[in-house]
Structure 1
Amino acid sequence: MEMYLDKTLTARERAQDLLSKLTLPEKVNQLSTHMIPAPIPGIEEGFSLENGIGQLAIMGGKEEPKAHAAMIRMLQDKVMASSRLRIPAVIHCEALSGPVFPNALTYPTSISLGASFDPEMVREMGDKIRRQMVAVGARQALSPVLDIARDLRWGRINETYGNDPTLVSEMACAFISGLQGSDHTKGVAATAKHFLGYSITEGGINMAKTMLDGRETREVHAKPFEAAIRKADLLSVMNSYAEMEGRPVCASKAILNDLLREDLGFDGLVVSDYMSVDRLVNNFHVAKDLQDAAIQCLKAGLDVECPNPSAYNHNLVEAVEKGLLDEKYVDRSCLRSLELKFKLGLFENPYPQEDSVIEKVYTDESLELGSLEASRKAMTLTKNDGILPIKDKNARILVVGPTGNSLRKMWSTYTAVGMEEMLLGNMAAMAGLEGGSGQMDADSIFGGKVDNDVVETLIRRRYPQARTIFHALNEKYPNVEYLMGCDYKDPDKTYIEAAVEAAKRADIVIVTVGGKNGYGGHSTNGEGVDTASAGLPGAQEELLQKVGEANPNFVVVHTDAKPLVSSNAYENAKAVLEGWLCCTYAGQAIAETLSGENNPGGRLQQDVPYGDGVYTYHYQQNASHYKTLQSLGSATYNDQKGVVARPFGYGLSYTDFEYSNAKMNVLEEAIPVLQICVDVKNTGNTHGDEVVQLYGKDVIGSMIRPIRELLGFKRISLLPGEVKTVTFDFKLDILSFINEEKEWICEAGEYNFFLAKDSEDESLCLKYELPKTLQVDYTKRDFFAKAE
């Protein structure tokens, strides 16, 4: 038996043996990907190749899971038949909110999950996604997104868990642990993206220059990736499209090798974001041709090109043969590609599972219940003057606004719905699909133009359990009327006069506002859909204002990829509910929250600015945060009444919670291990969830430090009158930083710890004094506190 077929050897040993048997063209093909846009009829039938392939990208898929699995089996057979040594391909797809193919599980998108502050729920979600992907033979997910999103103009905020590095780190580790599983041969390789600093760009524009210094890059934006590597055994990483310090990230040895591998300890596979290599020629103009681009990227540490072999093909073969590239770079990346395949057990089991297993997994009701519960937990109440919950079942309710009777507006980009809309409506809307034939094939699949009505019909057919906000409310209240009021985007399409007259007749008005998260010009945010304004699109702000003037008894329900930025809403509405993008069960969860069946327990994963153009976040450095900034006597924007409408971690409930008996114990002295406890009591009459948050502050530092840092959090559920003790355990090195000598240290002096309900709550403070400065092994430091 060949060594590489010996299961008793390690994945690295098997990969090394197989590598030694491959020809140069075979090795190069292991660094390439082919895309199969499966919604296009018959496209997979004509698929062929020579010398095998590293990966297959499946975008969309077959209507039924068994048919989808049969397609993957057929494609895998073709790949293995084309390979002299029958090397299987890794099948990858997007899985941010669930596998991106029809009839797969759909969870709320990441920004909604961030609002839940519930990493255990996210871990269970990852496990459910794993089960569905493995069942049909897909073994790598291009998820999760670990970018820290602070600029609300950037279109991809919904793909992130929020703007705090500790929140993102803990959610990322939870998702990856569930997705990859404890046994990788039965798991899905997670791909953390986008390495690094992708969300912090000039002007908030997608793919633009990253605006970070080295210290913030390392201490803040690398933190979630390092946590995923050191705590969750992350198997794969995807590069950022952007540039840092004058180099495209995909061709930066400093980022992909020196930082990612040597500093952060990553030893897995780096795959390219789609068409990244081409950008060296077409956008950055740092390569004369695709061969030059391929050489630069491979030497920097980019292992696999996606989604098609644009540059990692004959270009690399010729480069080695002509002496332009040392073959050791091909070998290095090929070894990583093969090692992942052995880790996943693909040589023993490259195919989907049996039909009976597929049927069981795809009819498991617990998966759907998990999605519903996640939607409920994401609901975030940020204002309530007592109007909610709506107790009068006979109240005359007007639902007005462009999102109130639309399913699509509650769906996010990286779902089966968003992906199929993009593939069928405009194949060139997403990077990597230029020149596709999706527009020509839309008629043959849906029998008509891919417009809003067609997408709504698609959702209703695929997800019959889904409800719009209006329909879900109408099932609970008999006297509900709906008017659109205005278009979600076009400021000239307004019907505000009719909405105003209807508002005057209503007891309560639910103003439903938000955007459309997707690809292309019909969306208001999404990949490549950035905005100059962080506020409401189109005429929605005007609608909100005039309806509110007509009937002050109004509630704002906001569903979008980011929090509501509207000083008018926060000043004048009776209540504001953030519904985020919860997909299948968004309408039901919102209606249950408005009626009081669901007590909201979500918290803001973003600081909400008071007005458009305000830029602030809770862990800004001393002298930069608005509370410590003094610019010629002014600490705020000159043309705004305030800075923060609602702070990070904020959220209301239909009950009240009281904190008491806070105390701190020192468990170990060397690198101090601290334990902080607090009793939390539900003092109201309703069962509810509280999110206990722990913040830390290094009071005086030799380097400028953040005004506060989130260290940990715990969501707990309490019955009326019930008391629970929440305990946080952590090493003080969670607050370590890099000094001027480039050493990680915990600096001597005072540390403050706040047990808080949000990032601005400093009412409960405990103090600790570190007698001497300690050097820290940063590879073993804490990234978030353990909470029980």
Structure 2
Amino acid sequence: MKKYMDSTLCPKERAKDLLEQMSLDEKMGQITGFMPVPGEMGQLEMEHPHGVGAVSCLWMMGFDSIEEAADFQRNIQKQVMELSEHHIPAVFHLEGLSGVLLREAPNFPSGIGRGAAWDPGLEYEIGSLIGREAAALGVTQVFAPVLDVTRDARFGRHGESYGEDPVLVSALGCAYAKGIHDNRTYLKPESVAKHFLGYHASPNGIHATSVNITERELREIYAKPFQAAISKADLRGIMPAYSAVNGEPITGSKSYLTDLLRTEMGFDGLTVSDYTAVWEMYDRQKVAASLKEAGLRALKAGMDIELPNCRCCGEELKEMFASGKEKIEVLDRAVMDILEAKFRMGLFENPFAAETGSLRKMFHKEGEGELSLLAAQESMVLLKNDGILPLKKEKYRKIAVIGYHADKIHALFGGYTYLSFAEGLFIAKNTMAGVDTGVTDGNTETYPDSIVQKEKPEIEAQARKAKPQIKSLLEVIKDNFNEAEVAYEPGYDFIGTDTSCFAQALKLAAEADLIILTLGGKYGTGSMSSMGEGIDNTNINLPECQELFLKELSSINTPKVAIHFDGRPISSDSAQDIMNAILEAWTPADRGAEAVVNILTGKYNPCGKLPVTVAYNAGQEPIYYNHPNGSSWHQNTKSAFKRYVDLPHEPRYCFGYGLSYTEYSYCCMEIDRKEIKGNQPIHISAVIKNIGSWDGVEIVQLYVQDRSASVLRPNMELAGFVRVPLKIGESRKIIFSLWPDQLGYICPDKNWILEAGEVEILLGSSSEDIRLHESVRVMLDIPVEEKSRKFYASAEILKTPEGRSTDEM
């Protein structure tokens, strides 16, 4: 048996042996990807005659069953291995942000929605489910989690991130990645974190532009979630961002992909390009004079595989290595990474999808629908409630349901979900790089005063056919209020200025004794969406048609409840003024309609908290709670005005905010050490009590404030959090374990340190609702090791003084 086929050896040793036996042609095949199109499989041999490194599974979404998808994987993998002289299998990859992109796979709320759940345990379960499904299909790379820190709601991909805080993103992202990695029953799938680095800091909220970020902010804020996932979750996959940072495209930056990522941060895995990012260094960013130079620059920077297809790493680049113009070690480094990953994933032992007899049993597990419902319920944030919620069914005899989203199941799904991608059959233009699914049939009519293409009725019909088990919000309302007359009018679109349907909707509202509105845009993919990848916006408020409708609705004195759907949170003066209740639902996916109605009727007590700060309008963007001292709404200068001329500096809704049907008290805060002399954990405890009339879950948030430092520090920072379930009248003691090195930062000499001084410890229900606080003093400077430091505080929940249950974030 050849040494590289000996599974008892470590992946690195096997990869080294195989690399020594490979030809230049076979090596070149490994550094490129292939995007198969059904019916055009002859392209594989034509474009990759010696095998290929990676294969995209994006087109699997076109299959009706997992059996078809598995057959497709097996057929392609067989061809790939036959083309390779050493029968090297390809890594198959798929998107995993909100679920596997297959018709029968469960989908989950968008990243920002799951960020609002503040639930690492939920993220672990979702990651585990997606990893299991991927492995069953022969897929060993899952493109998720999104570890971007997002601070600007104008950015079209705002909804992909877990939120604006690096601690929140770190905790949730690590849990998701661990869930993926803990699948070891068949293949060993790996998580690929996106988008390294600073991608969501794009100026003016524009996708993929050049970003200028200080090195301190880049490392302390934007790199933190990636470092956490590398150190705590054994992250082995990275996708660099499209953007350039401080003048260097990340895809071609040795200082970021090698010096920072691998040397400083200790990453030891596979880097795969975002789709077309290598080519864009030549075509868009113009830092390479030719395609082969773009490919070479990416390899020298530390990139391993060009995706989705070979454009820059082809014959011309091969000739540079063959002629000796470029050192073969540049190529060998990347190929070594790729081979080691393939051995690590178990592909040489199990290169194919599970066989038909075991596939369905492996792919599906009992309870996946309930997990989708739980995720949807936990994601929702109650922003306003004057007491109307939960609704008393017997009180309402005629209910008016109004809004674009109410009778459409596809409106429940955001970007990077199956139904969103399936719209590619009807859109005029795709906005996702590297994917060309636009259809030109002459029908490119747009909504009034908008560039967004009008939806075609076939989209909802297709969604209903693909997901027959899913009900719209209107249908679930009718099911739950079966003794009331429930009537519907669309009223308005998700974008534009059309008011032609106002009259019918207002008439219906005037005749009802309860009005339920759906508000918001459409978060998706392609030219029929108002938000998504490559779909940015200067307006973060409601669409103009909806704002106009609300102003007319204000004269009707009937109870009103608003449900908001989108990839950015609601921000509307009109809604805040006239609605009795506002529920932020994001894009809740499969069980979203049921989750909304469960909250409206009190079957589920909302507990979600905002993972982002919400501005009044785009003029405040970017806005975030952990701004530096002396900035934003803590500017504190001696000027006459402490606000904008036309707005406060403060946000509409603060980070961590969210209402419940019950109330909680905080008391008895204790800190076991007030003087910190070394890197030993500080234990912070308090008692949380449910003093209301509903069972519920309180998300207790731990913040810190550094009172003084040699460098400018954030006004406050999240240090940890914990979900505390409490029955009516129940009390529980929580204990956070906070390590001093978590509070470290980069000092003027570029070293990581926690300087001596006073640190305020705060416990609260949001960043602006601080209930308890105490201070500790760091007695001496504490050096911090960047890679091994703590990234978020762990927490225990004590049931009684005698017995305890431990919840580790």
Give the TM-score taking structure 1 as reference length. 0.95
Q: Give CA deviations for 1:657-683 in whole Å, capped at 9, x if unaligned.
A: 111111111398521310111111111
2:198 aligns with 197
Q: Give CA deviations for 1:407-451 in whole Å, capped at 9, x if unaligned.
A: 2222112011112222564575321134x68669x9xxxxxx995
Residue type of the partner of 1:709? E
Query: Is 2:705 aligned against 1:659?
Result: no
Moved more, 537-546 or 508-517: 537-546
* Secondary structure class of the residue paired with 1:539: helix
1:282 aligns with 283
- Aligned counterpart in structure 2 of residue 524 of structure 1, from 514, 518, 530: 530
Tell me how far apart the structure 1 counterparts of residues 557 and 260 of structure 2 sit (CA, whole Å): 56
Deviation for aligned residue 1:73: 0.7
Moved more, 184-193 or 518-527: 184-193
Report the CA distance shift for 1:93/1:438 in structure 2 as closer, same or farther (over 3 A).
farther
8 Å CA contact 2:632–2:649 kept in 1: the answer is no
8 Å CA contact 2:563–2:582 kept in 1: the answer is yes
Deviation for aligned residue 1:258: 1.1
- Aligned counterpart in structure 1 of residue 414 of structure 2, from 402, 412, 415: 412
2:57 aligns with 58
1:473 aligns with 477
Report the CA distance shift for 1:392/1:570 in structure 2 as closer, same or farther (over 3 A).
same
2:653 aligns with 646
8 Å CA contact 1:185–1:344 kept in 2: the answer is no
Residue type of the partner of 1:781? R
Deviation for aligned residue 1:382: 1.0
* Secondary structure class of the residue paired with 2:400: strand
Deviation for aligned residue 1:185: 6.5
8 Å CA contact 1:487–1:538 kept in 2: the answer is no
* Secondary structure class of the residue paired with 1:536: coil
Tell me how far apart the structure 1 counterparts of residues 180 and 454 of structure 2 sit (CA, whole Å): 33
2:465 aligns with 461
Tell me how far apart the structure 2 counterparts of residues 363 and 593 of structure 1 sit (CA, whole Å): 28
| Structure 1 vs Structure 2 CA RMSD | 2.0
2:256 aligns with 255
Equivalences for 1:220-299 in 2 at 5 Å?
220-299=221-300
Query: Is 2:488 aligned against 1:482?
Result: yes
1:580 aligns with 586
- Aligned counterpart in structure 1 of residue 777 of structure 2, from 754, 769, 772: 769
Tell me how far apart the structure 2 counterparts of residues 32 and 185 of structure 1 sit (CA, whole Å): 26
Deviation for aligned residue 1:524: 0.6
Tell me how far apart the structure 2 counterparts of residues 427 and 205 of structure 1 sit (CA, whole Å): 18
Deviation for aligned residue 1:367: 1.1
* Secondary structure class of the residue paired with 2:433: coil
Residue type of the partner of 1:469? L
Q: Give CA deviations for 1:294-324 in whole Å, capped at 9, x if unaligned.
A: 1111111111000001111213211212343
* Secondary structure class of the residue paired with 1:487: coil
Equivalences for 1:98-117 in 2 at 5 Å?
98-117=99-118
Tell me how far apart the structure 2 counterparts of residues 319 and 46 of structure 1 sit (CA, whole Å): 25
Residue type of the partner of 1:188? P
8 Å CA contact 1:424–1:450 kept in 2: the answer is no
Tell me how far apart the structure 2 counterparts of residues 550 and 709 of structure 1 sit (CA, whole Å): 43
Tell me how far apart the structure 2 counterparts of residues 578 and 451 of structure 1 sit (CA, whole Å): 24
Tell me how far apart the structure 1 counterparts of residues 212 and 248 of structure 2 sit (CA, whole Å): 13
Query: Is 2:684 aligned against 1:676?
Result: yes
- Aligned counterpart in structure 2 of residue 398 of structure 1, from 365, 379, 400: 400
Deviation for aligned residue 1:697: 0.9
- Aligned counterpart in structure 2 of residue 602 of structure 1, from 608, 619, 624: 608
Tell me how far apart the structure 2 counterparts of residues 279 and 677 of structure 1 sit (CA, whole Å): 52
8 Å CA contact 2:538–2:618 kept in 1: the answer is no
Residue type of the partner of 1:517? Y
- Aligned counterpart in structure 2 of residue 429 of structure 1, from 428, 431, 448: 431
Report the CA distance shift for 1:325/1:549 in structure 2 as closer, same or farther (over 3 A).
farther
8 Å CA contact 1:53–1:79 kept in 2: the answer is yes
Report the CA distance shift for 1:695/1:778 in structure 2 as closer, same or farther (over 3 A).
same
Tell me how far apart the structure 1 counterparts of residues 256 and 641 of structure 2 sit (CA, whole Å): 39
2:332 aligns with 331
2:217 aligns with 216
8 Å CA contact 1:548–1:572 kept in 2: the answer is yes
Residue type of the partner of 1:291? K
Deviation for aligned residue 1:762: 2.7
* Secondary structure class of the residue paired with 2:162: coil
Tell me how far apart the structure 1 counterparts of residues 17 and 609 of structure 2 sit (CA, whole Å): 51
1:737 aligns with 745
Tell me how far apart the structure 2 counterparts of residues 426 and 339 of structure 1 sit (CA, whole Å): 41
Tell me how far apart the structure 2 counterparts of residues 25 and 393 of structure 1 sit (CA, whole Å): 74
Deviation for aligned residue 1:594: 0.8
2:34 aligns with 34
8 Å CA contact 2:455–2:528 kept in 1: the answer is no
* Secondary structure class of the residue paired with 2:404: coil
8 Å CA contact 1:487–1:494 kept in 2: the answer is no
* Secondary structure class of the residue paired with 2:720: strand
Report the CA distance shift for 1:363/1:180 in structure 2 as closer, same or farther (over 3 A).
closer
Deviation for aligned residue 1:589: 0.5
Deviation for aligned residue 1:360: 1.7
* Secondary structure class of the residue paired with 2:464: helix
Tell me how far apart the structure 2 counterparts of residues 155 and 44 of structure 1 sit (CA, whole Å): 34
Report the CA distance shift for 1:104/1:44 in structure 2 as closer, same or farther (over 3 A).
farther
Query: Is 2:91 aligned against 1:90?
Result: yes
8 Å CA contact 2:707–2:757 kept in 1: the answer is yes
Query: Is 2:510 aligned against 1:504?
Result: yes
8 Å CA contact 2:428–2:527 kept in 1: the answer is no
1:446 aligns with none
Equivalences for 1:319-358 in 2 at 5 Å?
319-358=320-359
Report the CA distance shift for 1:459/1:292 in structure 2 as closer, same or farther (over 3 A).
same
Residue type of the partner of 2:474? F
Tell me how far apart the structure 1 counterparts of residues 374 and 468 of structure 2 sit (CA, whole Å): 18
Moved more, 719-728 or 319-328: 319-328
Tell me how far apart the structure 2 counterparts of residues 230 and 711 of structure 1 sit (CA, whole Å): 17
* Secondary structure class of the residue paired with 1:376: helix
Tell me how far apart the structure 2 counterparts of residues 60 and 412 of structure 1 sit (CA, whole Å): 19
Q: How many residues are aligned here?
A: 777
1:22 aligns with 22
1:570 aligns with 576
Moved more, 205-214 or 115-124: 205-214
- Aligned counterpart in structure 2 of residue 555 of structure 1, from 534, 544, 561: 561
Report the CA distance shift for 1:401/1:427 in structure 2 as closer, same or farther (over 3 A).
closer
Deviation for aligned residue 1:78: 0.6
Tell me how far apart the structure 2 counterparts of residues 466 and 119 of structure 1 sit (CA, whole Å): 26
8 Å CA contact 2:98–2:107 kept in 1: the answer is yes
Residue type of the partner of 2:20? S
Query: Is 2:695 aligned against 1:687?
Result: yes
Equivalences for 1:113-128 in 2 at 5 Å?
113-128=114-129
Residue type of the partner of 1:365? E
2:168 aligns with 167
* Secondary structure class of the residue paired with 2:656: coil
Q: Give CA deviations for 1:730-759 in whole Å, capped at 9, x if unaligned.
A: 211111101100111111111111110001
Deviation for aligned residue 1:633: 3.2
8 Å CA contact 1:552–1:573 kept in 2: the answer is no
Query: Is 2:619 aligned against 1:617?
Result: no
Report the CA distance shift for 1:573/1:305 in structure 2 as closer, same or farther (over 3 A).
same
Residue type of the partner of 2:331? V
Tell me how far apart the structure 2 counterparts of residues 18 and 423 of structure 1 sit (CA, whole Å): 42
Deviation for aligned residue 1:143: 1.1
Deviation for aligned residue 1:498: 2.3
Tell me how far apart the structure 1 counterparts of residues 105 and 36 of structure 2 sit (CA, whole Å): 18
2:10 aligns with 10
1:314 aligns with 315
Tell me how far apart the structure 2 counterparts of residues 688 and 487 of structure 1 sit (CA, whole Å): 35
Q: Give CA deviations for 1:26-45 in whole Å, capped at 9, x if unaligned.
A: 1111000000245xxx2347
Identity of aligned residues (%): 35
Q: Give CA deviations for 1:589-624 in whole Å, capped at 9, x if unaligned.
A: 011111111110111011111334223211000011
Residue type of the partner of 1:571? D
